[in-house]
Amino acid sequence: MIHTTVTIIQIIAVILLFLCILVLALKPANSFSNVMLLAFMAGFIQNVGYLLELLSYDVTTSMNAIRVEYTGGAFIISMFTWFIFKYCRHELPKPFLVVFILEGFLVLLGVWSFGYNDMFYTKAKFIKDAAIPYVQLGHGWFYYVFAVLTISELVTNIIMCLLSYIKTKETYMRRNYAILFVVVVMPLLGYMVSIMGNIPGYDLTPLSVALSIIVFTLAILRNHVFDVAKYASETIFNNLDSPVIILNRGNGFEGANLRAKRLFPDLFEFKTGEYIHDEKILELFEEDMAEIKIDDEVYEVSISPIYSGDDLIGKSVILFDITERKRQLEKTKELMDKADQANVAKSAFLTNVSHEIRTPINVIMGMSEVLFRDFRRQETDEYVANIRTAASTLLSLINDILDFSKIDTGKLSIIDEEYDAKKMYTELITVYKFRCEKKGVQFIADIPEDLPKYLIGDAVRVKQIHNNLLSNAIKYTENGQIKLKVSYKKRTDYEIDLIVSVEDTGIGIRREDQNKIFTVFSRVDLKKTNTIEGTGLGLNISKELVSMMKGAVNFKSEYGKGSMFSFVIPQKVSASKNDLFGTINTDMGIEVFNTNYTAKDAKVLVVDDSKTNLIVAKELLKKTMVDITTALSGEECLKLCEENEYDIIFLDHRMPGMDGLETFEKLKAGPNKCQNTPVIMLTANAIGDARDFYLNMDFTDFLSKPITSKELIEMVKKYLPDEKVLYEPCIDPSI
């Protein structure tokens, strides 16, 4: 009866173990489950062996069953140990592993070679007439070694589980260690009972192992002991560097990771579901809380609702430490402020330098123009012309440097307006024909007659690009010819591609230098060119300007033979004026502009703190015969305006005491006799969008120094009342 019962129990155990193996094998594998699967198989073999033992009827069948039993039993506890170490996050020391394997194989050797040696069993006798028939065995020395080792391993496993249980703070892992504890205690008890021989004929070890495997399988199914994702998420949650707190819908505490608990030590005390009173923690869950400062650290607060299906069941708050980011941002801001300040200082410096240089250039150019016009003497004419050329070279240098700085700081913009292309080319051809003739170089201009006369683009900049290429061609050509060729391609009815090329028979550019010439400040072939004036900025500026106009620059050059620079820029065609270019008539040497009108009754006031500038203005306007009054300061200007009426006022910007802007404001505010008089800003300040700046301040117009007689005379005519302008030349021989 007892025999039958234990046999049935053993059969059930074997079947259940088989199912356990299936359950484990069907779960997605990981490093834990692989070790455990081996242990399950060992347990299964052990239990099958024991079932055979229960069914055996003599010594031979019994001993064969025992051999099968030990094929699994010799390894099962070692495998348990290996698994427990792994699960408790410890690496099993290698020597132990060797001992375990050796131990298992020696047991197998002992059991399987029974009859030939008495290492494990010394004798075997089958007891038939017991309640459970069994084989009585005499134990050899290795049997005891194996017993000691097995008990030590089981005890170590128990200690390991206990320690891990105590050490870990993760609730999920704690429960798993508790399950493992039960799993390792069972075989220990079973084994102890067996070796003490308390139940004659019955070995409890296989069944205790089977039970432990079954309990463990249930834990896998119910508590997801091997669920790596869950395990990982819990580990990640706890090790996360950002504090996380979870509350349920009623502000009850649901959980917090270690980082959060360290930040708010009160959290260590809270039990799940307990209502949180801590104001500081509750404050974190307020909707408008974006940032919080705790001690010296700044955290970004991120609240997320937690849903189960469609039901809101709680909320979590994550704090991101942004202290370093904030610090970096502040540092960057500080650096940017410094850079901005440096940039402002640089701009101010450039404005000053440009202003200071333009002022004397204004005098040099103005005075030499007056000399050339009014005091012509054969002996000095050439000197005066040289002074003018030197001054204009200096001026173009200053302009280049200013342009470069504007491009560098992104302040240069292309301002499109309608311009007269014929007028521009007439001026260009006049100047360059004159300069070529002086140098003994032939100048050829080829412009199609059907080119639209009025184009829309940035006339100043378009002219500047032409000037740069043409003046380079002259600079680097000693004889032969320079050819300006213009053509165009229609894009639409109102847009063309203006195609310009400047070809020379000059020194050319060496192949190895060709990729350098558009680089800032680069001048090539210095042996030949260092006597020629230049900064190495012109081509770079031209290329930038062309690309700002969405065009392209090209060039080809042969060293010793000449170069050809070309560019293409899209330009709009005036919709209102459809005149064509026609032919060009260029007069030579109109270096000095002669006025074609006089205005004896006109009164013009020029305000400038520099006496020489006033003389220049006066001299340049002399032939118009306008009545010119000068003032050396803003204060003087206002005083004059209280008593007199003027047709035009030219006002300098930078003056000591009251500057041009303040004077202008006071003038417009009145009361005086010139509140409605056109006021033209006449300044050496040319940086940035000076023109826009002054026009936005409500100045009537703007002229930049150095001024030419042509500009000044035309500007006066533009703002004088028509009735005061007489189209008759000045006949006073003294003027």
Task: Give residues in contact with ligand ADP (CB under 6 A).
Answer: 468, 472-473, 476, 504, 506-509, 517, 523-525, 529, 534-540, 563
From residue 366, give the alpha-carbon distance in Å to each of 363, 422, 595: 5, 27, 15
Query: Which residue stretches of 88-200 are H helix?
Result: 94-112, 141-167, 171-195
Residue type, 38: L
**What is d(CA 267, CA 460) in angstroms, rounded to the nearest whole number?**
73
- Packed helices 59-87 and 205-223: angle between N→C axes, nearest 10 degrees: 40
Nearer to ligand ADP, 391 or 679 (CB): 391
CB of 674 to ligand ADP, least distance (A): 45
Nearer to ligand ADP, 34 or 393 (CB): 393
The residue of the chain with the least Cβ separation from ligand ADP equals 534
Taking the least distance from each CB to ligand ADP, the nearer of 208 and 471 is 471
- Closest separation in Å from C-beta 532 to ligand ADP: 7
In the complex, minimum distance from the CB of residue 368 to ligand ADP, in angstroms, rounded to a whole number: 23
By C-beta, is 81 or 505 nearer to ligand ADP?
505
Min separation Cβ 521 and ligand ADP, Å: 8
Say if CB 679 and CB 664 are below 8 A apart.
yes
Q: State the DSSP H helix or E strand holding residue 327, giving kind and residue range, or none if neither.
A: helix 323-374
Closest distance between ligand ADP and the C-beta of residue 528, in Å? 8
CB nearer to ligand ADP: give 137 or 524: 524
Closest CB 516 distance from ligand ADP, rounded Å = 8
- When the beta carbons of 170 and 525 are compared against ligand ADP, the nearer one is 525
The least CB distance from residue 548 to ligand ADP, in Å, is 17
Q: What is the CA radius of gyration of the chain?
A: 51
Reported in sequence order, the residue ranges of 601-706 that DSSP labels E, i.e. its strands, are 603-607, 627-631, 648-651, 679-683, 701-704
Minimum Å distance from CB 475 to ligand ADP?
A: 6
d(CA 558, CA 503): 11
**In angstroms, what is the minimal distance from the CB of 399 to ligand ADP?**
12
Residue 26 or 526: which CB sits closer to ligand ADP? 526
Three-state secondary-structure class, residue 74: helix
Nearest CA to 158 out of 129, 188, 132, 134 is that of 188
The answer to whether the beta carbons of residues 184 and 209 sit under 8 Å apart is no
Q: Give exposure, 394-424, as e/b (b: 16+ Cβ within 10 Å).
A: bbbbbbbbbbbbbbeeeebeeeeeebbbbeb
Task: Decide if 684 contacts 358 (C-beta within 8 A).
Answer: yes
Cβ-based nearer residue to ligand ADP, 361 or 517: 517
CB nearer to ligand ADP: give 75 or 476. Answer: 476
| Alpha carbon distance 374, 385 (integer Å) | 13
Q: What is the nearest approach in angstroms of ligand ADP to the Cβ of residue 520?
A: 8
Residue 500, number of CB atoms within 10 A of its CB: 23
What's the CA gap between 181 and 387, in Å, rounded?
105
Residue 649 tokens, joined? 């006022």
d(CA 585, CA 346): 45
- Name which of 472 and 708 has its Cβ closer to ligand ADP: 472
Minimum CB distance to ligand ADP, residue 438 (Å): 18
CB of 366 or CB of 508, closer to ligand ADP: 508
Which is nearest to 363 in space by CA: 705, 605, 668? 705
